[in-house]
Structure 1
Amino acid sequence: MDQSSSPVVILEVDESNMGFAIWIGPFEAESLALAVSGESFQRPLTYDLFIESIKSLGGKFEKAVIHSVRDNVYYASLYVTDSTGNTKSLDARPSDCLVLAAKCGFPVFVEESVFTESAIDLSKLQGAYESGEDEKTDKDEDQEFKEFVKRFDIEDLREYFERRQQENDEDEDAEDK
């Protein structure tokens, strides 16, 4: 949750310190939290119905791709293979893709242009790790993450994205002249 109590997901790129933030709705945040924890709701949620519908029709989720960002809104495509082996691309919200990926285990990719525009160095947010540190236990990592969340200032991140958007808008205005 950011300082205004809006849910935010910090996505980290594998094997790097780079990532970016996506603000999501409260329903998606709750569904994502359940999916990540491996818990399920007592009755099927919309995501569960969608997953079961695709499976019952012989389909399979392949991947999601976050392909663009406009005015700090991210856009994605969800790729589903049907029973005949044809892959279809569906327009989707990244938050929905993240929930489905957490539930089904398919990969989520980010177009390089989106990553380049939106990426931040997460190590600057988390603080530098001490050199020579032994392997951490899960409990140590949990505590470290809790400390990171306490120190994390979402307003700094939001201002960063707003500055980037303003710079992009200025660059586009300059190109139009």
Structure 2
Amino acid sequence: MIEMKVAGIMLDAVTRSPIVLLKDSSERRALPIFIGQDQARAIIAVLENQPNPRPLTHELMANVFDAWELNLEKILIHALRDNTFYAILCLNKDGVKKEVDCRPSDAIAIALRTNSPIWVLEEVVADASIPVDRDADDAEREAFRDFVSDLSPSDLIKKSRRS
């Protein structure tokens, strides 16, 4: 699993649909997820510290968690099927853990309100992320090629015997 942070909301240039952009801690990979207008507004409200006069759905959920002493340990974006992302809320109450199915956009909006971490399975990142720092990726690829080109089979045998 890879922990990611919300980098911001952007609009698709063609469709004008909102996209939430998640970035990993190294800021080398970004995961764009298309979301609805309402969820975009909810995420922007938290990012820009704009309080609502009355609790909206995501604030309501965070308030319910507080009232019932439910801990949102994390959200997990765990699958991508047919261009649709899938997420779960990982809840804990007195050591009893439950996973609740949730749209990623709602899960992110709730996680931001509860200061809960956002995790994404590595397979999802591999399938759907976009490179942010191509120069660093190219440098890492070149360093790996250099490392591999200097290896011999006897080096690998020696290293495996030490392990």
- Shorter-chain TM range is 0.7 to 0.9
Alignment of 1:115 onto 2:89 = no
Aligned residues: 125
Q: How far, CA to CA, are the matches of 1:98 and 1:74 in structure 2?
A: 12
The answer to which structure has the higher helix fraction is 1
| TM-score, scaled to structure 1 | 0.67
Question: What secondary structure is seen at the aligned counterpart in 2 of 1:74?
Answer: strand
Q: 2:69 aligns with which of 24, 35, 58?
A: 58
Q: How far, CA to CA, are the matches of 2:20 and 2:60 in structure 1?
A: 23
Question: What secondary structure is seen at the aligned counterpart in 1 of 2:22?
Answer: strand
Quote the offset at 1:71 in angstroms.
Answer: 1.2
Q: Deviations over 1:71-108 (max 9, x none)?
A: 111001111112x3211111011111111111111111
Aligned counterparts, 1:16-165, within 5 A: 16-82=27-93, 84-124=94-134
Q: How many percent identity over aligned positions?
A: 30
Which 4+ stretches in 1 moved above 2 angstroms?
A: none
The answer to which structure has the higher strand fraction is 2
Q: How far, CA to CA, are the matches of 2:97 and 2:48 in structure 1?
A: 29
Q: How far, CA to CA, are the matches of 2:63 and 2:20 in structure 1?
A: 25
Q: Deviations over 1:106-146 (max 9, x none)?
A: 1111101111111211135xx99xxxxxxxxxxxxxxxxxx
The one-letter code sitting in structure 1 at the alignment partner of 2:85 is: Y
Q: How far, CA to CA, are the matches of 1:7 and 1:112 in structure 2?
A: 24
Q: How far, CA to CA, are the matches of 1:10 and 1:56 in structure 2?
A: 31
Gaps of 5+ in 1: 129-177
Gaps of 5+ in 2: 1-10, 137-163
The one-letter code sitting in structure 2 at the alignment partner of 1:79 is: C
Question: What secondary structure is seen at the aligned counterpart in 2 of 1:58?
Answer: coil
| TM-score, scaled to structure 2 | 0.72
Q: Contact conserved, 2:61 with 2:110, CA < 8 A, in 1?
A: no
Aligned-residue RMSD, C-alpha? 1.6
Quote the offset at 1:5 in angstroms.
Answer: 1.5
Q: Contact conserved, 1:12 with 1:19, CA < 8 A, in 2?
A: yes
Which structure has the bigger radius of gyration?
2
Quote the offset at 1:16 in angstroms.
Answer: 3.5
Question: What secondary structure is seen at the aligned counterpart in 1 of 2:78?
Answer: strand
